Amino acid sequence: MMVVVTNNAPPRLRGRLAVWLLEVRAGVYVGTYSARTREMIAEQVRDMIADGDAVIAWTARNDAGFDFETYGSNRRMPVEFDGLKLVAFHPQEPV
């Protein structure tokens, strides 16, 4: 199973994701695909996200049971800590 969550994604990317995945809520896509197909979807997200941001999570054979990657201008970034992937929350830049 994989889940893609987007914020401020361009319509072209949302349409592309809707071809492969089921949009269960605005900007939230789910589906079950092979690692190869997941990588192709991730490449399209990375190339088309523009000013938005996205996270892709999928089942994996690790202690957590899942893995994830983030794309775009996102304040939440994955970090490794004692063999676990956690989320670092970067402070907001002053306006």
Q: Is residue 48 part of a domain?
A: yes
Q: Is residue 36 part of a domain?
A: yes
CATH value at residue 36: 3.30.70.240
Per residue in 3-35, pLDDT (tens digit) is 999 999 999 999 999 999 999 999 999 999 999
What is the crossing angle of helices 11-20 and 35-48, to 10°? 170
Residue 65 one-letter amino acid: G
Task: Using the predicted structure, report yes or no on whether residue 89 has a pLDDT greater than 90.
Answer: no
How many domains does the chain divide into? 1
Q: Is residue 94 part of a domain?
A: no
Q: Is residue 42 part of a domain?
A: yes
Q: Is residue 61 part of a domain?
A: yes
Domain span holding position 8 = 2-89
Per residue in 36-63, pLDDT (tens digit) is 999 999 999 999 999 999 999 999 998 8
Q: Is residue 95 part of a domain?
A: no
Per-residue pLDDT at 76: 79
Task: Using the predicted structure, report yes or no on whether residue 64 has a pLDDT greater than 90.
Answer: no
Task: Using the predicted structure, report yes or no on whether residue 84 has a pLDDT greater than 80.
Answer: yes
